[in-house]
Amino acid sequence: MHIRWFSRPSLPPLGLDLADFRARGTCQFGGRTSEGRAIYARYRMGCLTVKLEDPEEVLLKTCIGPAYHGSMMLEQVCDLAGMTIKGRSPIISAEMLEEAQNHEPVLDWSGRTTYWQPQVELTSHGIASLTDVVNNADSHYNISLSMQAFYRNASVVDPTLFDRPTLLAETTSGTLFVNFPSDRPEDRVFFENLASRYLFNRIDIIDLATGAVMDTREAGVCYSRDLIDWCAAGADRYITAHLSGEPSQMIGIRPAQDVGYLFASR
């Protein structure tokens, strides 16, 4: 399994000076350059975009954060994109960051903190196991687990719908929140070992009409490792199943046959 860690990205500075720049909520920003052109910036779904308008000219568009993250300070946008306001670089003090974090899930983009915020699909056993880890971790480990309040119920699906009897796993969606000081590599090792022990994201895509493996890939979410044994107990067991593609076909998701390979990060 691969982890994508997030910290301060290395972006080419735009070198723009802005006459006016204001926040429009927590993810959108707008104003004018010193030359009078309208400028718009957005940080949504982990992606930062900066563009000039009239006519539109995209200056920056890159994914720098967790997939579902979308809160950033105006000062952070300027800092990351290399922009000034009336000739000055906005200051981001520790007090300003703390105040912003009291109201929104703003990240520290100074480079001093490293983050991992995977979406997870966990069984009840997986929830209990990770909750136990969270509750018993040393106090200097910043880790929390937020689960939604509903289950996707396991069920035997109508075989006329899926071409074969299909049993789906019972899981709950959520997010695992992890961060640590970037200068503590031992913390990174701790969280890598935790992920390797409790989670996986390498899956096989199965054609439910034929049972053939169509593809093997890393999923956009992480699953409880106990699903590996649960699916191995029966050929009719899948993490989930749904329609996909054109023309549409029923596909099932199972742990990849090589899911036990050694953990790595990037």
Please give the Cα distance from 242 to 248 (Å, whole number).
10
Below-70 pLDDT ranges, the chain: 1, 149-165, 246, 260-266
Strand order in the sheet with 83-85: 57-63, 47-52, 38-44, 28-33, 16-23, 83-85
* pLDDT tens, residue by residue, 91-110: 999 999 999 999 999 999 99
pLDDT tens-digit series, residues 172-230: 999 999 999 999 999 999 999 999 999 999 999 998 888 899 999 999 899 999 999 99
For 33, phi then psi, to 5°, come to -75, 170
Q: Which of 150, 254, 177, 162 is nearest to 209 (CA)?
A: 162
65, 114 contact by CB (below 8 A): no
**β 83-85/16-23 pair status:** parallel
Whole-angstrom distance, CA of residue 140 vs CA of residue 65? 23
Amino acid at 160: T
The pLDDT score that the predictor gives to residue 235 is 86
Residue-level pLDDT at 262: 37
Token pair recorded at residue 246: 């054109």
- In this predicted structure, what is the pLDDT of residue 180? 93
Query: Any idea what DSSP says for residue 183?
Result: T
Closest by CA position to 219, among listed 197, 238, 234, 246 = 238
pLDDT score of 51: 97
pLDDT number for residue 150 = 55
pLDDT value of residue 147: 86
C-alpha atoms less than 13 angstroms from C-alpha of 141 in its C-beta half-sphere: 21
pLDDT given for residue 162 in this prediction = 56
Q: How far apart are the first and last CA of the chain?
A: 10
